[in-house]
Amino acid sequence: MNLDDVRFDASGLVPVVVQDVRTGQVLSLAYANREALEKTLQTRQSTFWSRSRGELWVKGLTSGNTQEVLEVALDCDQDAVLYKVIPHGPACHTGAESCFHDPLTPPAHPPLGEVLERVFRTIKQRLKTLPEGSYVAKMHQAGLDRVLKKIGEEAGEVIIAAKNPDPKELEWEAADLLFHLLLALAERGITPTDLAHTLWSRHKP
């Protein structure tokens, strides 16, 4: 992208959509001027122009909820910009993950990537606090070998379900396998983002 190609409005601003690169979730909509875009490209931190304060602002500079920018893209009309980021904390000042949290329609289930991220965060929290009655805490206390054995068991269940006529059975067993795989990754300090990087490096469009 060349900044000379960006079509700023009469106020010298362009709307910026911020998206979680891991899940595809839209986090916020803000505005940037040329200086903000230049700073974003230089620092790889989400930087915008505050229309209310009339100044540059870096996301998370005061709250700590920063956004690591992996990619900046220009839309086909060249009048809107996309930041693809890894967020380190909630995007919204209310504490919500996304600023878009007030649905006007009945909410649909989120995409798989977002679900996996949410489940993984819950697993990490359970491993940290080990609450009484938690399945994650129970498996952790049983040891990594128990978790790995469970993955083997669930993989066998997936194979059996895949040969049966009911697709719902396969969905259920595959979900169990993914859950225990996430648990094993968490136990070894590997995140879904790490896994995504590895898969992407192997991807050949």
Full set of structural domains in the chain with CATH: 3-87 (3.10.20.810), 112-202 (1.10.287.1080)
Q: Report d(CA 57, CA 95) in Å as an integer.
A: 18
Q: Is 103 helix (H, G, I), strand (E, B) or coil?
A: coil
**What is the mean pLDDT of the segment spanning 24-36?**
96
- Enumerate the H helices of 18-132 as residue ranges: 34-43, 112-129
Q: What is the pLDDT of residues 95-139, one digit of tens each?
A: 888 999 888 887 777 788 888 988 999 999 999 999 999 999 999
Specify whether the CB–CB gap between 25 and 98 falls below 8 A: yes
Say if residue 204's pLDDT is above 80.
no
Contacts of residue 113, Cβ cutoff 8 Å, sequence gap at least 6: 22, 23, 24, 192, 196
1 falls in which pLDDT band (50, 70, 90)? low
